A and B are shown apart, each in its own frame.
Chain A
């Protein structure tokens, strides 16, 4: 009798609990009469930035009690799946802080509102002249419209150990030749120090750090008209860049042997451990130095943009804010993004994780915060004036979304480092893949 009754009671309990829990899930918050704006961000991660964002939104809600903004930070590397699915389901949030080329990719699908009126206003009020450089917003211009406004920069830098350089009596390198000399001179296997470390795995970051070398050599992926010239017109220049970048691993062997599998973290760890003299990094290395290795930070500097055979340039990618075509409240959404991009507004975000996000306004750099930290100051002085986008010198090209996303210009670096292809073959193979993207979008638009 006992066990059978117990079993019955158990089953009844189970069913009851299930019902209660199910009921609890279906009861959602009652909708209010206010305007509710959804805001997806791909950059506000971690407790520090989230706290800063919360304070910003609190301020917004005090000033605009009728327009509620709720933000969701899209986690991990699968951002694209979430965006494209929502786009297909007419469920994009009102406001998006997206990846570089998401605005244009979604504009291609007819999912973004043009923001030409903001640009007209900005050009009158002088805001446009205050943007760090023209390429920061030209990249959002496509088919006669602007599809996004710039709101923060993601910068690629080279960090170096001042103490190791001084020990060798070398000046801070500013050209390819000096850079090579300095890397080879500081390589010190006896003390377990590599001359250079960078991520050369099959990840997006690898392609993004190849960009500065390409443009310094006078190459690049596209030409001024936005035509693909990666392994055609620019073949020689890109080859020079690829050979220079990979020679440290394949010829001089002054990098950790495993860089062919590294993503940014893996490479950064080598530098943070004090085991590399030079390291190609994200701006975010500054935060990591300050929080994880405060003892090492004073000994580190950020290299000014290198001068290659053709130009002195660096890579910095401007990320957009844009408004989706699914929104019911375009005016309120515009009001919010204008508020968010006001002068000095997001300084708290830039301060929460120094070097992770950078202002797009020249005037924001007047903040003493940038002067007071030698690493930030190095970037502002030596790198920021030279930054260009990965599509340089082209204006907005939506195909760059697929080309960057599918890691098509990371592939040549990875191929050469792992010895699977010669530099020539690697460039040509990558070009073929990129061509496929252009062919495909041409075909779909012609029909």
Chain B
């Protein structure tokens, strides 16, 4: 018996090593371009053309200073945080309610509505640009953040709805039914039973919604018409001008855009696994 256990732990140890190795390799591929960008941002631009991989000989923060002093990077960044943050709240909320409805209430036409949501994504976005511009202009939301904040949840709806619907589907109904028999309303059972065990699902759609708004370019390009209102991708695109890429501005900006997000996700990622400890479903 104990012999078997030893064997098992050894096997387990080997497995753990393998998991680590694979994860480290994957992380290497994921972060190398970004780390390289960060490294290049603190060395003279002429060292970009070495054709060899070396560590920087001299560190220079001149380009960071240039970006911060001479461009509106900070305000682009804050604009993006605001737009993406608000769009995420709206999008997660409406996605969760719709997903819950589709999963539990099975109203006539619900499934068809879900399929229709997919249709939104199937039509090439570049062709939606002109009609959407006209619509947003009609609403008087042209050149406002509100226009983007309202638009982005519409773009994320298909994923948030379908994802959460699928997620809610996996939660056994017996839990709610038991609660309902005890006299709880659907709202109570949604808030007290479904939401706590849906942490990972909610976090996933929130991250997705945030990053869609964070990265979105073409709609922001046509809808924003004042420099002060630009979001980050628009600001960064201005360094990739017709006259070539301004590496001296792009590299530090890209690094500064990625770093806070990394730290933010470091804090956020625990929500991705919250369901494990939430208890309700745990056997």
Binding site for B on A (CB under 8 A): 14, 18, 21-22, 25-26, 28, 38, 42-43, 45-47, 51, 70, 72-79, 81-82, 84-86, 88-89, 91, 264-265, 268-270, 272-273, 275, 282, 284, 288, 292-293, 353, 356
- CB A336 to nearest CB in B, in angstroms, measures 18
CA separation between A42 and B241, bound complex, in Å?
9
Contact B130 A88 (CB under 8 A): yes
- CB A43 to nearest CB in B, in angstroms, measures 7
A353 proximity list for chain B (CB < 8 A)? 243
Contact A273 B144 (CB under 8 A): no
A70 proximity list for chain B (CB < 8 A)? 226
Q: Does B86 sit within 8 A of A, measured CB to CB?
A: yes
Besides the contacts A21-B82, A76-B238, A78-B217, what 6 more A-B pairs have beta carbons closer than 8 Å?
A22-B146, A25-B146, A75-B235, A75-B237, A91-B142, A282-B244
Of the A-B pairs whose beta carbons lie under 8 Å apart in the complex, a sample of 21, sorted by A's number, is: A21-B82, A26-B144, A28-B144, A38-B225, A43-B242, A45-B238, A45-B246, A46-B241, A46-B246, A78-B218, A78-B221, A81-B129, A81-B218, A81-B221, A82-B221, A86-B222, A89-B130, A265-B245, A269-B49, A273-B49, A273-B50
A275 proximity list for chain B (CB < 8 A)? 49
CA separation between A391 and B50, bound complex, in Å?
39
CA separation between A5 and B70, bound complex, in Å?
46
Q: Does B202 sit within 8 A of A, measured CB to CB?
A: no
Contact A26 B237 (CB under 8 A): no
CA separation between A28 and B240, bound complex, in Å?
29
Chain A binding surface SS class: helix
- CB B156 to nearest CB in A, in angstroms, measures 17
Contact B237 A76 (CB under 8 A): yes
Q: Does B149 sit within 8 A of A, measured CB to CB?
A: yes
Contact B221 A91 (CB under 8 A): no
Q: Does B178 sit within 8 A of A, measured CB to CB?
A: no
Q: Does B51 sit within 8 A of A, measured CB to CB?
A: yes
Contact A88 B244 (CB under 8 A): no
B144 proximity list for chain A (CB < 8 A)? 25-26, 28
Contact B46 A82 (CB under 8 A): no
Contact A91 B137 (CB under 8 A): yes
Q: Does B184 sit within 8 A of A, measured CB to CB?
A: no
Task: Please tell me which one of the listed residues A82, A268, A288 contacts residue B222 in the complex, with CB atoms under 8 A apart.
Answer: A82
Given contacts A42-B242, A51-B70, A73-B238, contact A84 B130 (CB under 8 A): yes
Within residues 60 to 90 of chain B, which ones have a CB less than 8 A from any CB in chain A? 66, 70-71, 82, 85-86, 89
Closest 6 CB pairs of A and B: A76-B237, A273-B49, A47-B70, A75-B238, A75-B237, A45-B241
Within residues 228 to 242 of chain B, which ones have a CB less than 8 A from any CB in chain A? 234-235, 237-242
Given contacts A21-B82, A45-B238, A73-B238, contact A356 B222 (CB under 8 A): no
A25 proximity list for chain B (CB < 8 A)? 82, 144-146, 149
Contact A75 B49 (CB under 8 A): no
Given contacts A26-B144, A46-B249, contact A77 B240 (CB under 8 A): yes
B66 proximity list for chain A (CB < 8 A)? 47
A272 proximity list for chain B (CB < 8 A)? 46, 49
Residue ID in chain A nearest B46 by CB atoms: A292
Given contacts A22-B146, A91-B142, contact A85 B246 (CB under 8 A): no
User: Contact mask B138-160 → A, CB, 8 Å, 1/0?
Assistant: 00001011100100000000000
CA separation between A51 and B222, bound complex, in Å?
24
A18 proximity list for chain B (CB < 8 A)? 86, 89
Contact A22 B46 (CB under 8 A): no
CA separation between A362 and B269, bound complex, in Å?
62
A268 proximity list for chain B (CB < 8 A)? 244
CA separation between A26 and B142, bound complex, in Å?
11
Contact A284 B71 (CB under 8 A): no
CA separation between A355 and B70, bound complex, in Å?
21
Q: Does B45 sit within 8 A of A, measured CB to CB?
A: yes
B245 proximity list for chain A (CB < 8 A)? 265
Residue ID in chain A nearest B225 by CB atoms: A72
Task: Please tell me which one of the listed residues B71, B130, B217, B221 contacts residue A47 in the complex, with CB atoms under 8 A apart.
Answer: B71
B48 proximity list for chain A (CB < 8 A)? 269
A270 proximity list for chain B (CB < 8 A)? 49
Most buried by B among A21, A38, A73, A75: A75
A38 proximity list for chain B (CB < 8 A)? 225
CA separation between A51 and B66, bound complex, in Å?
13
Contact A89 B218 (CB under 8 A): no
Q: Does B6 sit within 8 A of A, measured CB to CB?
A: no
Most buried by B among A25, A79, A273: A25
Contact A22 B86 (CB under 8 A): yes
B45 proximity list for chain A (CB < 8 A)? 292
B237 proximity list for chain A (CB < 8 A)? 75-76, 78
CA separation between A126 and B46, bound complex, in Å?
46
B137 proximity list for chain A (CB < 8 A)? 89, 91
Contact B243 A356 (CB under 8 A): yes
A284 proximity list for chain B (CB < 8 A)? 243-244
Most buried by A among B46, B129, B238, B243: B243
User: Contact mask B195-234 → A, CB, 8 Å, 1/0?
Assistant: 0000000000000000000000110011001110000001
B126 proximity list for chain A (CB < 8 A)? 81
- CB B251 to nearest CB in A, in angstroms, measures 13
Contact B222 A75 (CB under 8 A): no
Q: Does B133 sit within 8 A of A, measured CB to CB?
A: yes
A78 proximity list for chain B (CB < 8 A)? 217-218, 221, 237
